[in-house]
Amino acid sequence: MSDYVPVIVFTNQKGGVGKTTSADAVADGFRRRGLKVLAVDMDPQGSLGRIESSCVAKGTCCSSSFLKGAPVVCTEDGQATVPGDLDLANVSDEADLSGAKIDEYSLSKAIAEAVEAHGFDAVIVDTQPGMTFATISSTIAATHLVIPTTADRLGTEAVEQTLELLSAVSDSYDVSWMSEPAVLITLFRGIAKLARTFASQMVEEFPKMGLKVFQRRIGITVAIQDAQAHGRSIYDMSVLKGAAFEYDVLVGNIMNWCGLRPALQMEGGER
């Protein structure tokens, strides 16, 4: 499997669960281990593209154009982020650059071409909530699926709804998922008894539903969003030492899960 490149898709039918924050933190963590990462923002709101602005090279395409076959442009150090754009919401009605109609497999094709052209080690995809064309295309393109969720009743229901979507996708399309979907508990309030109770229930019950649950829980820290909004890496900020540690451990867990090895261990540095 020398040509294997994991495509890790962050998805949940509910918004506000830390999908974009986690996608950025994992992509950043991969880069800091020396990996070449392609991050694709499949949400028309474009939050991941704004957070990862330092990895959006001049002249690169947006996600709707990426689906049509437009080329990705890398930064000087070989990283790339494809920002989301509003046209993504209507791209399924259009044709690609070769004249073929855009379909649910167009993202898989675009990712494969970008990986072949630039030699990326991993691909991170952020999605929007809802059963949209962009979300379905993203789940089809995935080799691994991460479902960030909160440890509460709404979070449990959202995971169940996401499983229904994934089941519908796997029944209707050819998918290449290499593992069971994995649940990541985010925005975790460890001091709250109810949150601890729901988290324990998730660890116990979700595997019975065919899900993996990451043991590392990501605590709620407003400063993470503040750092990302200003283009700062959470791994470089002392005020986020605890949160950075949690995500750094998670990055290692995801790399093991996907069979990735670090090309270079980095202590710090710019994004």
Helix (H) or strand (E) holding 117: helix 106-118
Q: Tell me the whole-structure pTM to 2 decimals.
A: 0.92
C-alpha 91/C-alpha 22 separation (Å) is 26
Give the tens place of pLDDT for each residue, 83-131.
999 999 888 888 888 888 899 999 999 999 999 999 999 999 999 998 8
Give the tens place of pLDDT for each residue, 174-220.
999 999 999 999 988 878 888 899 999 999 999 999 999 999 898 87
Residue tagged 């506000």 (tokens):
16
Q: Which of 145, 69, 144, 143 is nearest to 107 (CA)?
A: 69
